[in-house]
């Protein structure tokens, strides 16, 4: 058994103080019971953070403002009845009117929509959860995500103008390939 100075937490994985919370350094009772989850707290900005001139907490930086991202999500899997795939995609579009268009076949589908997010990482994270989170409520087939493209609004319009971007979406709605 390894001994630890009072008020200092034992390293993870050690046997010091097994089964009991470390003793607080101020002599007060612990603020939580052993095994109880800790609450998350915010952390103040460090010394290296320098807000821009004239910027206060009420003013968001341009890179923190939400932007529009064009998302194309591709899914595929075992064949499913075409009528059920269409009905499930229509239900998804009804539940989430942000969907622009869905194209489908018996073993794959593609969903296109605009997502408002702070950055590409946030937009992609939402897109990657979309199919799984709505599989039950919309009755979507148990297909896996096989493709994801997330591009900003400027890139989308530039591609369309140059004629090499994603094919212009078919009319809004759910359509077969």
1 close to 15: Cβ distance less than 8 angstroms: yes
DSSP, res 13: T
pTM of the model: 0.61
Reported as a single tens digit per residue, the pLDDT across 129-155 is 999 999 989 999 999 999 999 999 999
Task: Say how far apart CA 10 and CA 32 lie, in whole Å.
Answer: 17
pLDDT in tens, 84-118: 999 999 999 888 777 788 899 999 999 999 999 99
């Amino acid at each position: 058994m390894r001994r630890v100075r009072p008020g200092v937490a034992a390293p993870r994985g050690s046997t010091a103080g097994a089964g009991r919370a470390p003793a607080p350094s101020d002599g007060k009772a612990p603020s939580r019971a052993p095994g109880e989850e800790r609450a998350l707290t915010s952390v103040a900005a460090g010394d290296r953070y320098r807000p821009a001139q004239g910027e206060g907490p009420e003013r968001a930086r341009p890179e923190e403002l939400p932007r529009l991202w064009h998302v194309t999500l591709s899914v595929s899997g075992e064949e499913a009845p075409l009528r059920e795939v269409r009905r499930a995609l229509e239900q998804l579009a009804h539940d989430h009117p942000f969907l622009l268009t869905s194209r489908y076949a018996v073993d794959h589908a593609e969903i296109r929509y605009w997502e408002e997010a702070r950055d590409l990482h946030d937009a992609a994270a939402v897109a990657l959860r979309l199919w799984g989170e709505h599989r039950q409520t919309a009755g979507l087939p148990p297909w896996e995500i096989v493709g994801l493209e997330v591009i900003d609004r400027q890139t989308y319009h530039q591609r369309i103008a140059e004629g090499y971007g994603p094919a212009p979406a078919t009319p809004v709605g759910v359509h077969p390939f």
